[in-house]
Amino acid sequence: HALQDLVRLVGQAMKITGIKYWQVDLPLREGRYSWSNGNFVEVFDSTVVAVETDAGITGYAECCPLGSAYLPAYALGVRSGLAELGPKMIGLDPRDLGTLNRHMDAVLRGHPYVKAPIDIACWDILGKATNMPVYKLLGGAAQDKIALYRAISQESPQAMAAKIAGYKKEGYTKFQLKVGGNADIDIVRIRETRAILDASDILVADANTGWTRAEAARIAAAVADVDVYIEQPCMTYEECLSVRRRTVRPFVLDEVIGDIGGLMKALADDAMDIINLKISKVGGLTKARLMRDICVASGTPMTIEDTWGGDIVTATIAHLARSTPEEFCFSATDFNSYGTVAIAAGAPQRVNGFMTASDAPGLGITPHLEVLGQPAGVIQ
């Protein structure tokens, strides 16, 4: 009978009947997360989204910008955008993800981070409707466990080295060092943290656009003998490309790769060795999957992650990463281990520096509605 119900459900029409969204605060275990140019966040403002259907299936997603000084995105913008876009999604079939994404792009120009949670929630619906985990729908299990990196908030070189030593004991072998501050101190940060790592460990110096081209050129030259990746040194693509052409260090691009066009240009220019593929930055899983497949086809590894988030964002990352071949999955992020608030059951949990995606249908998570409280918005 269960199989008959599934066959009937897959074959019948389905429509979006409502969208709800909640605001939730995500405090940090370490108290503060700091990156380039004095930016920091102490409590992240996240938005959880539910897409409801006339089939009785509800899909969930989460979007959490990294403050307002990281990308053209901010927390209140997610909810304002949902209030604008949500009514225009009523009546669409959530399983028709290509049609749905083209419709979102037609009725709201730009704002990919607003569209991302709707797209992701519809992937959750598709998984539940077909009784399959999302990673199966994204291409299948290309790896069973996903190697994680740990972001090291910007502090003194000694404090950052001490934190890396602590996280190594928890099983991490990949570390993203938040630099992009004073050039002299950043050189010391890179050298002191690399010195405590094993030869097989990976260190990424992520400036988050915080260096001028002159600073980036100087720092890259100063650490030319250090086993370190240089990530997103400057604000613009052109500045980063200039620095890329001056250094032998492997190079990572993040903030300046926001869509398929930007990715294709960067590949043509040989602008990087690795990209950071942030799911909400590019508009959701549908577009992230396409960019992922282009990277795999071109031989370009990725860090698969998002701007920030809790349990639901972590689950989404895990499904895309698990369906990505290991040699092209440079690393991923378990954001739910950074915070103090659990917002969903069934989310991936870190084990010795690795995580995996659930085998349950959809994203495999169940939101803690008692934690979310009353919705911030209801669209029907």
Q: Where are the beta strands (DSSP E) in the chain?
A: 16-27, 33-34, 40-41, 43-53, 58-63, 146-147, 149-152, 174-178, 202-206, 229-231, 251-253, 274-278, 302-305, 329-332, 344-345, 354-355, 366-367, 377-379
d(CA 356, CA 375): 30
Give the active site residue among 136, 174, 278, 287.
Answer: 278
First-last CA distance in the chain: 32
Closest CA to 24 of 72, 80, 79, 68: 79
Residues 6+ apart with CB under 8 A from 71: 65, 113, 255, 258, 281, 307
Distance of CA 130 to the CA centre of its chain: 25
Give the integer Cα–Cα distance in Å for 51 and 363.
13
Listed residue (377, 254, 317) closest to 116, CA to CA: 317
Residues 6+ apart with CB under 8 A from 195: 161
Instruction: Spot the catalytic one: 178, 265, 281, 287.
Output: 178
Q: In the annotation, is 178 catalytic?
A: yes
Would residue 20 show up in a list of annotated catalytic residues for this protein? no
**Which residue numbers are catalytic?**
178, 278
